[in-house]
Amino acid sequence: MTIEVDLAAPLSIADLRAAREPITVLVGPAVRERVTAGRVFLAKVLGDDRAVYGATTGFGALVGYAGRADQRDQADNTLAHLGAGQGPDIEPDLARATLLVRAHSLARGDSGVSPHVVDALAAALGTTFAPAMPRLGSVGASGDLIPLGAAAQALRGRGDAYLDGRRLPAAEALERAGLEPLPLDGRDALALVNGTSLTTAATALALDRVRASHRVIQLLTCVLADLLGCDPQFLDAGLLDAYGHPGAIAVAARMRATLDGVTPSGTRPLQEPYSIRCTPQLLGAAEDALRYVDGVVAADLASVSDNPLFFPGADRVVHGGNFFGQPAAFAADLLTMVLAQLGNLAERQLDLLVDPVRNGGLPPMLAAGPGQQHGLQGVQLASTALIAEIRRDAMPASIQSLPTNLHNQDIIPLGTQSALRALDQSRLLSLITGSLALGLRQAVHVGARTPTAPACAELLDALADAIAPIDPDRPLEAEVRVAAAIAESRSGLKNL
């Protein structure tokens, strides 16, 4: 069944996930009325010989010079110079989410864009079409100019695009998809590129993945504590109420529910290592940070990121900086900090689990026959490499401002880099949590006690049904991904 997304309604992260497949984008009467009103007002403004950036002027640092008189030529003038991106293409799924975010922004009617532009974006999203957009080139200051410029060109039948996952010349992809090349004038072209839609889409999808991993680690921590026989007093409601942080209180409540019915073994130390004992504080701080990112993403998904904006009712054309992606830059960098510490936690929990000194006497590396077999040894090595990769790239991008564009863009947010990096790293984090889940499954095979909390037993049963014991050794890269998917499906969030 094809999912419908109404451009008159708020846009959600679920909508962005859905856009990886063909979706029905509804451009209803209310949207068409306000987009048309903005377009009619633009014509009036131009007829009054008012200055409108990008319609009557050059671009960026060349704003003081006149643009091309023919508006179709002005579209070429806008897009040709942006064909300077480098690096690999962004993933087609992300490119399609970007088109949906841009369509929603333009559908607000404040951009003076032609109604047929919104229709064309909706039509493209109804197929498997995705523009080929270069990963490198955006500084996130005047929006995602270079990657969105490539998207606009692909919609015109220039450059390259993907159809059914295959990279083709854009004109061929349009024809095979049954789409017409998109005609643009100067305002249309600028409205397509002068926003943060790629940054917003990448930040939103990264948030979705990190939230999934956050819930997974809560679940896996409970399973680890149950298998080891830990006393759950570190989750005590009175203890966390005294701590006073809302995220920690909420996380501890969820973990207590997961551990409902648990029976401590009575053989563990009075105080567990911090990777167990301090999880409500660590994961609670992550929850508080993620709630901040929730708000930024919600605002970005509802925003009009463009310049200038047109307000027919007030007879105003307003030039400003709504394309400046600082909120998402800060939010995506915060996501990177959160996911790095989540990865640190999961990697340390795996280390605890494979260590016979701390795991209650289970064999080293959870090997069924130590020496003759090696259990989780390779998986742990890979997890160490994964968290090192995440930590190496954890330097915030949002503070790396460099002046560019003849000092017109004399300060820049670099949100695109922040967002794309957070999305990349969120995928690595899920591999670390999958490694921990695989270790928990193996621990039961080599002598860990049967879980006493029903919710913990349920997850381990699901893992055992899907993954055979590591006995004898075998390659485990596929099982790590299977374990990650099972844990995500059982954590209360949609598996990504």
Backbone CA torsion sign across 476, 480, 485, 490:
positive
- Our answer to whether residue 53 is catalytic in this structure is yes
- Tell the burial category of 395 from Cβ atoms under 10 Å away from its Cβ (0-12, 13-18, 19+): exposed
Of the candidates 53, 162, 274, 292, the residue annotated as catalytic is 53
Among residues 287, 162, 310, 158, which one has the least CA distance to residue 218? 287
Distances (CA, A) of 274 to 110, 136, 278, 437: 52, 40, 5, 19
The answer to whether 418 and 396 have CB atoms below 8 angstroms apart is yes
Find where tokens 């989410």 sit: 97
From CA 436, how far away is CA 434, in angstroms rounded? 5
CA distance 188 to 80: 14
Structure token digits, residue 409: 């863009």
Q: Where are the beta strands (DSSP E) in 68-217?
A: 86-89, 130-131, 134-136, 160-163, 166-169
Please report the sign of the dihedral spanned by the C-alpha atoms of residue 183, residue 186, residue 189, residue 191: negative
Active site residues: 53
